[in-house]
A and B are shown apart, each in its own frame.
Chain A
Amino acid sequence: MYAFDFVKPSTLDEALSALAEDEAQAISGGQTLIPTLKQRLAMPSKLVSLTGIAELKGVKTEGNTLTIAGATTHAVVAKEAAEAYPALASLAGRIGDPSVRALGTIGGSLANNDPSACYPAAALASGATIVTNTREIPADDYFQGLFTTALDEGEIVTGVKFPIPEKAHYQKFIQPASRFPLTAVFVAKYSSGVRVAVTGASEDGVFRWSEGEEALGANFSPDAVSGLSVDPDGMMADMHGTAEYRAHLVKVLTARAVAAANG
């Protein structure tokens, strides 16, 4: 690692003024950033820890909206969202392993936007709103491709608002060595329609499978997607799976998610 200063403010305001400095960078759970720093793929002059800021932690439900503060860990979401939004809690409880879940946070995951990360699928399928220190960004505008988001320099994810669906399920086909999804699908059914978001498949990162959404909107059953096919063009391909394999998984996992959501 290159050398840097480390500060751990206790309020959001202090964090934001520390982040205004040139080359300052936020660190939350560190579960992605520390490995990146070890590989010398980042060179911040200062890291600003978000883990000491009480206002950035917590899960609350108001009406039909579940709000998770930006620096809330996966372990806390797995526990505290279980009643209001079980599919989301289940996703959080399956990220990585217990040690990763104890530290890793929703804000860090969404800011990083790894093409195989779990939370982006939930945020997109739920039509969530990403709340930052300056504005509110709909998930449909937030994810902008591989490791790219709508966030500006120094902008912090302070929370995420999830509309609670009637039914939902997250199907994670795990890549056991990394414990990330090889491919995963989050299906959420609202009175306004069905949303299907796919991670670990496209070279452009998380995306909505609109053909699947339409079919499921008309008939929320696994059979609804059985006649569809997903185009492998633009899908990731690596030693763990070809583009065709991933395209196939999108359909299979969607059907399984619907079956599980219907109980």
Chain B
Amino acid sequence: MPEIEMTVNGKPMSGTVEGRTLLSDFLRDMLGLTGTHIGCDTAQCGACTVHLDGRQVKSCNVFAMDAAGAEVTTIEGMANADGSLGAIQAAFQTHHGLQCGFCTPGMVMAAAGLLKENPAPTEAEIRAHLEGNICRCTGYHNIVKAIQAAAAELGAKPIAAE
């Protein structure tokens, strides 16, 4: 079986996969990064959202071998270097942007995807961007509030050197 390598949350990772191994399964089962949740496994719910070479994707709808050599960021990569919650994560906590938390990793990754493209989104733009992320609990209002707060917080900070 083929061995693949990719950079996950800034660290080189490798593992043996089959052609049919999904990126979501590679992250969870091989690398133990279980923060990426699998809700539907049919590309509908967005719980499995990660970033692949800087683009937001549903990891249950990508083959691991297609992601070989890529840079992947998961929810585990969203915390600050000291382990404290990153700005988007902290905003979800402060604004009660989660209840059961199942959708939250995907919501945070989608929010990060949005803020990278559009650092000051309107409420309508936030709601449109979350079209592929389903939450069974919150009714979305507090998720939207959290993303607005994160945008304000990140916008207020000077852009750190990459």
Contact = CB atoms under 8 A, between A and B. Distances in A.
Interface in A86-138: 96-100, 102-103
A49 B66 contact: yes
Contacts of A99: 46, 49, 56-58, 61, 110, 132
Main secondary structure of the interface of A (DSSP, over half): mixed
Contacts, number: 78
Given A37-B20, A98-B113, A99-B49, A31 B65 contact: no
Interface stretch (A4-12, A59-67, A254-262): A4-12
Contacts of B43: 31, 34-35, 100
A220 to B, nearest CB: 30
**Max count, chain B CB within 10 A of own CB: residue among A46, A51, A96, A98:** A98
Given A97-B131, A98-B132, A6 B46 contact: no
Interface of B: 2, 18-20, 22, 41-43, 46, 49, 52, 55-58, 61-63, 65-66, 68, 110, 113-114, 129, 131-133
A3 B113 contact: no
A110 B58 CA distance: 22
- By secondary structure, the B interface counts as mixed
Interface of A: 1-6, 8, 27, 30-31, 34-35, 37-38, 46-47, 49, 51, 75, 96-100, 102-103, 179
22 contacts: A3-B19, A4-B19, A6-B19, A6-B20, A6-B63, A6-B65, A6-B66, A8-B68, A30-B62, A34-B22, A34-B43, A34-B61, A34-B62, A47-B19, A47-B63, A96-B131, A96-B132, A99-B49, A100-B43, A102-B56, A103-B61, A179-B132
Contacts of B132: 96-100, 179
Contacts of B42: 35, 38
Nearest to B17: A6
A18 to B, nearest CB: 13
A34 B133 CA distance: 19
Contacts of A5: 19
